Structure 1
Amino acid sequence: MRALVLCGGAGTRLRPITHTSAKQLVPVANKPVLFYGLEAIAQAGITDVGIIVSGIDTEIEQSVGDGSKFGIEATYIIQEVPLGIAHAVLVARDFLGSEDFVLYLGDNFIVGGITGLVDKFRTERPDAQILLTRVPDPTAFGVAELDGKGRLTSLVEKPKEPKSDLALVGVYFFTVAIHEAVRSIDVSWRGELEITHAIQWLVEQRKDVRSTTITGYWKDTGNVIDMLEVNRSVLEEIEPRIQGDVDEVSEIIGRVEIAEGARVRRSRVVGPAIIGTDTVVVDSYIGPYTSISEGCRIEDSEIEFSIVLRDASIKEVRRVHASLIGRSVEVSQAPPVPHAHRLVLGDHSKVEISS
């Protein structure tokens, strides 16, 4: 069995971060989202992994390398134009051959991995196996409709009037049957070959298409709020580990990980939180659910429920909350502005001004 991991796409919902970095490499708990997926694939016993990239830049390839650090062998497949998930399957046809495979969207996150799901698919081998989860706003996803016996009857991509709240999770399992399906569908109104249309084609051809509704934690990390929520979820599982240098007057509370080379001076850190290598925290408060990457400087500031990427600095700022701060960003206090009142008052006016 092989894996196909999609790392194309512009990541428009995470701009401006994704103007200079692939969305799959934005870190949660100081590790890129993509790495969690690759680790889950390796843990499921799949080592032959094709990675779909745009070909415009090599950041994904530089970060993942040959895959050996994850226990996989990575093959890079170029999708010149992002024409949809089904199109990516077409592009990867030679790599996939006649093997069963898991299709994994590189910006998706599933707590607990996929080992059990892979084992089930290997045992039962339906033509396709999809994962569903209930969401509050189905219009942003592919939406499934099931019959009274729980069998899949239809899939619609981002419907304006969803018939259910069951959204497609970005992990799919396929046999060779999917290749005929992706060759048989037409381009959608969005100008893409939709994987939902390919799966629907399999349903209409009476192929064995099964669904599993998962209740565990899943997120598509395509926007800032979901990215922060995934960061929160991962930080909930960390264990206290202080490898850096913390002075005697600083206060470390709860599950806090401070990497080797980091320095904390006259500060308070309340977990769960993680502070990366060579980061300096001085006269500051680091609140819960905060990930600060390597090489950062937080000085005389307060920050919580946020992600700070490498080499960023925050100085004399009160307070930063629910934020995603990019690489080498500088956030500082604005110079004081003189306060003044400009008044145009009529005769006999009475004005009270709180100074």
Structure 2
Amino acid sequence: MKALVLAGGSGTRLRPITHTSAKQLVPVANKPVLFYGLEAIAAAGVREVGMVVGDTHEEIEAAVGDGSAFGLEVTYLRQQAPLGLAHAVLIAREYLGEEDFVMYLGDNFIVGGIEPLVRRFEDERPDAQIMLTRVPDPRQFGVAQLDAAGRVVGLEEKPEKPKSDLALVGVYLFSPAVHEAVAALKPSWRGELEITEAIQWLIDAGRPVASTVISGYWKDTGNVADMLEVNRLVLEDVEQRLDGDVDGASEIIGRVVVEAGAKVANSRIVGPVIIGAGAVVRDSYVGPFTSVAENCQLVDSEIEYSILLRRASILGVRRIEASLIGHDVEVTPAPNTPRAHRLVLGDHSKVQISS
């Protein structure tokens, strides 16, 4: 079995962060979300990975390399435009050959990995196997309809009037039969080749399609709220590790990781928190569910339930919560007079200001 990892999306819901960074490389607990997926694939015993990349291919390739760091062999497949999940299968046809494969969306996060799903597929041998989960607003997802016996009878992509609340999770398993289905597709109303329509083609052709409704945790990390929630979830499992320099005037409470080379001085850190290598935290408070990346500076400030990306600095600011702060960002107090807000914001930014 091979794996097909999709890492070519533009990440419009994470702008302005994704104007300059691939959405799959935005970190949770100081590790790119894409890496969690690659680790799950390796843990399931899959070794050969075709990675579909787009405009951010250079950044993805620099981060993942040849895949050996994950115990994988990665081949990069260039997608000239994001034309749908089934289009990714289409361009990977030669790479996949006649092998079964697992397709994994690179910005998805699934607790518990995919090994049980892979083992079930190998045992039961359907032509497609999908994972489903109940969501409050299925209009944002591919939606499955099951019959009384639990068999998949219909699929729709982001329907206006969903027939169920069962959304497709971003992991699929296929036999080579899916290539015939993909070859028969025409672009949808969205101008894309939809994987839901390919699976529907298999159903209509009488090919076996299996599903599993999962009750565990899954997130599509496509927006800031979901990124923060996944960050919270991952940090729940950290164990205290103080490899950096923590002075005697600081207070460390709970599960806190201070990486080697980080410095904490005269500060209060309430876990779960991770402080990355080379970061400096001085005269500050860092509250639960916060990830501070490498070489950040946090001085005379307060922050919690947030993610700071590499080299961000927060100086003299109280108080920051539920925030995603990008690479090399500087956050400082505004001058008291004249009383005004001075802003330099990227395209599609969202700002909340207390007047």
TM-score (norm 2): 0.95
Match of 2:343 in 1: none
Match of 1:323 in 2: 323
Separation in 2, partners of 1:7, 1:339: 44
Match of 1:253 in 2: 253
Within 5 Å, which residues of 2 pair with 1:167-316?
167-316=167-316
Match of 2:154 in 1: 154
The DSSP-based 3-state class of the residue aligned with 1:311 is coil
Separation in 2, partners of 1:30, 1:339: 36
Which whole-Å deviations, capped at 9, do the CAs of 1:239-270 have from their partners, x for residues lacking one? 11000000101000000111000000010000
Query: Could you tell me which amino acid in structure 2 is paired with residue 68 of structure 1?
Result: S
The DSSP-based 3-state class of the residue aligned with 2:180 is helix
- Root-mean-square deviation (CA, aligned residues, Å) is 1.1
Separation in 2, partners of 1:261, 1:56: 30
Query: Could you tell me which amino acid in structure 1 is paired with residue 217 of structure 2?
Result: Y
Separation in 2, partners of 1:152, 1:57: 35
The DSSP-based 3-state class of the residue aligned with 1:58 is helix
Query: Could you tell me which amino acid in structure 2 is paired with residue 31 of structure 1?
Result: K
Separation in 1, partners of 2:337, 2:268: 30
Separation in 1, partners of 2:56, 2:309: 23
Shift of residue 159 of structure 1? 0.7
Separation in 2, partners of 1:238, 1:116: 24
Shift of residue 88 of structure 1? 0.4
Separation in 2, partners of 1:192, 1:55: 17
Match of 1:62 in 2: 62
Separation in 1, partners of 2:306, 2:25: 16
Separation in 1, partners of 2:175, 2:56: 30
Q: Tell me, yes or no, if structure 1 residue 93 matches structure 2 residue 93.
A: yes
The DSSP-based 3-state class of the residue aligned with 1:180 is helix
The DSSP-based 3-state class of the residue aligned with 2:277 is coil
The DSSP-based 3-state class of the residue aligned with 1:222 is coil
Which whole-Å deviations, capped at 9, do the CAs of 1:194-251 have from their partners, x for residues lacking one? 0001001111111100110001100000000000000000000111100000010100
Shift of residue 163 of structure 1? 1.1
Cα 1:97/1:302, change in 2 over 3 Å: same
Query: Could you tell me which amino acid in structure 2 is paired with residue 84 of structure 1?
Result: G
Look at both structures and tell me which one has the larger radius of gyration over its CA atoms: 1
Shift of residue 337 of structure 1? 2.3
Shift of residue 55 of structure 1? 5.0
Count of paired positions: 340
Separation in 2, partners of 1:197, 1:166: 16
Separation in 1, partners of 2:57, 2:105: 19
Q: Tell me, yes or no, if structure 1 residue 35 matches structure 2 residue 59.
A: no
Separation in 1, partners of 2:17, 2:55: 19
Separation in 1, partners of 2:59, 2:338: 46
The DSSP-based 3-state class of the residue aligned with 2:260 is coil
Query: Could you tell me which amino acid in structure 2 is paired with residue 304 of structure 1?
Result: E
107-116 or 48-57: which moved more?
48-57
Shift of residue 124 of structure 1? 1.2
Separation in 2, partners of 1:172, 1:323: 32
Query: Could you tell me which amino acid in structure 2 is paired with residue 8 of structure 1?
Result: G
Shift of residue 9 of structure 1? 1.3
Task: Answer yes or no: is the 8 Å Cα contact 2:30–2:291 preserved in 1.
Answer: yes
Q: Tell me, which stretches of 5 or more residues in structure 2 are unaligned?
A: 341-355
Q: Tell me, which stretches of 5 or more residues in structure 1 are unaligned?
A: 341-355
Separation in 2, partners of 1:56, 1:282: 35
Task: Answer yes or no: is the 8 Å Cα contact 2:290–2:307 preserved in 1.
Answer: yes
The DSSP-based 3-state class of the residue aligned with 1:21 is coil
Moved over 6 A (4+): none
Separation in 1, partners of 2:159, 2:243: 50
Q: Tell me, yes or no, if structure 1 residue 123 matches structure 2 residue 133.
A: no
Identity %: 68
Which whole-Å deviations, capped at 9, do the CAs of 1:71-117 have from their partners, x for residues lacking one? 00000000111100000000000110000000000000001111111
Match of 1:351 in 2: none
Separation in 2, partners of 1:162, 1:209: 20
